[in-house]
Structure 1
Amino acid sequence: MGTDRLDEILDATYDCLTRYGVRRTTMDDIATTMGVSRSAVYQYVRSKDDAFRQLAGRLHDQALVRAREAACDQDTPYAERIRGVLAAKLDLVLHLAGDSPHTAELLDAKARLFGGICTAFTADLRRLLIGLFTETGTAEGVEPAEAADISIALVIGLENMPDARRLLGPASGALTAGLLGAPAVVR
């Protein structure tokens, strides 16, 4: 029951975030959205900041699970596995950017509340990509870490592009073809 109630609190926190943003949301707003007392919310989170940190952590963790699943899919060609890791990051960004102007606050690597979560998420994606590029090998003169950094830069560049989801396939296909030194399948 505790995890379910925490999920409800984080869902309510997200709802408040979309309406008010981090600064203007109060614990009363979260409790009212849930239909419970403020003291009931405090049983699961220490503060508004704690609720927002846990919410950011949950969203980034969900995206990381998708990235790991893509990276570990042994039945899929490497280029598609790499695209899957990048898609997890892009989907998180586009989802948050699309819900409200306030939800993008959860992606700010420089923010006091979320910076560590965002930085750790990107570092985890980088490690997954380095692992994939190490397994498959990279083009001559390109180290796996460099290939991972280039791939992350690609997805960051796509984050503000119109039609970013559609562009990810051909962009990552072209990128991996060059980084892997072999033709890549683009879907």
Structure 2
Amino acid sequence: MSKRAPSRKTSETERGPETGPAGDRSAGDDSEDARLDPILTAAYTCFTRHGVRRTTMDDIAREAGMSRPAVYQYVRNKEDVFRRLTRRLLAQTLADARAGLESKDELADQLTSALEAKLRLTLRLWQDSPAHAAELLSVDARTSADLISEYEQAMRDLLAGAAGRVVPPRADAEEFADLLLAFTRGLEADLSDHATPVRRLRHGVQLFVAGLDHARTNPLESV
């Protein structure tokens, strides 16, 4: 009787050894260990190439040029890799958003730069993985909901902080930030033409800020 070939594992929680450095490392230690860089880079390549469900730890190890046991010295399983990668991508997006706010003088330009950083992340996934972007985004929302929530709150705080310096007395800077984020999420829903959402984002932010300027110069009309 011929032996059956081993089946390809597809579990999102494919597990490695329960002991070792990865089990003791806190969530914020990624930047302290340069060995995570090739693992996370390889994971991004594999996730965008195969999708999250079809990617195995063997795929990630092979792409990183490491043995599977070596990879498990730094991560616990595929879900751990995915969360670490998500955390890194979101942290970079927030850093880009902060840089955009600090590099511009006009409020509309500041807000546009910050929101473009958010939009670029989604565009990047669709450009790098047209076949799997929807899966990546849905898995991200399910597996890393807490990270997404923290990211959205941090982005909201950045936008509200910028808007709060110029909004009229009766305006709510946080609600204004929520409107901007909702508008951007709407643009992210249709990325079939990558240039269109960027153009609409810039135009939309200008309209939002024009509304603020009008309310500030005509306070009685906003009562």
> TM-score when scaled to structure 1?
0.86
Structure 1 runs, 4 residues or longer, greater than 6 Å off: none
1:72 lines up with 2:102 in the alignment = yes
Larger of the two Rg values belongs to structure: 2
Cα distance change, pair 62–110 in 1 and its aligned pair in 2 (3 A): closer
Letter in 1 for 2:214: G
Once the two structures are superposed, residues 37-56 of structure 1 have per-residue CA deviations (whole angstroms, 9 ceiling, x without a partner) of 10111111111111110001
Deviation at 1:180, TM superposition (A): 3.8
Deviation at 1:105, TM superposition (A): 4.2
Partner of 1:170: 203
Aligned partners of 2:90 and 2:151 also within 8 Å: yes
Once the two structures are superposed, residues 161-184 of structure 1 have per-residue CA deviations (whole angstroms, 9 ceiling, x without a partner) of 53212222212111221134379x
Deviation at 1:62, TM superposition (A): 0.5
Cα distance change, pair 58–110 in 1 and its aligned pair in 2 (3 A): closer
CA distance in 2, matches of 1:71, 1:2: 27
Aligned partners of 1:27 and 1:47 also within 8 Å: yes
Once the two structures are superposed, residues 103-141 of structure 1 have per-residue CA deviations (whole angstroms, 9 ceiling, x without a partner) of 444444873322111121111111111111111124x65
Cα distance change, pair 104–173 in 1 and its aligned pair in 2 (3 A): same
Partner of 2:113: 84
Partner of 1:145: 174
Partner of 1:116: 146
Match of 2:66, SS? coil
Calculate percent identity across the aligned residue pairs.
Answer: 42
2:45 to 15, 20, 23: 15
Structure 2's unaligned 5+ residue stretches are 1-30, 217-223
Cα distance change, pair 116–132 in 1 and its aligned pair in 2 (3 A): same
Aligned partners of 1:26 and 1:48 also within 8 Å: yes
Cα distance change, pair 149–136 in 1 and its aligned pair in 2 (3 A): same
Aligned length: 181
1:27 lines up with 2:57 in the alignment = yes
CA RMSD of aligned residues (A): 2.3
Structure 1's unaligned 5+ residue stretches are none
* Structure in which a larger fraction of residues adopt helix: 1
CA distance in 1, matches of 2:140, 2:38: 27
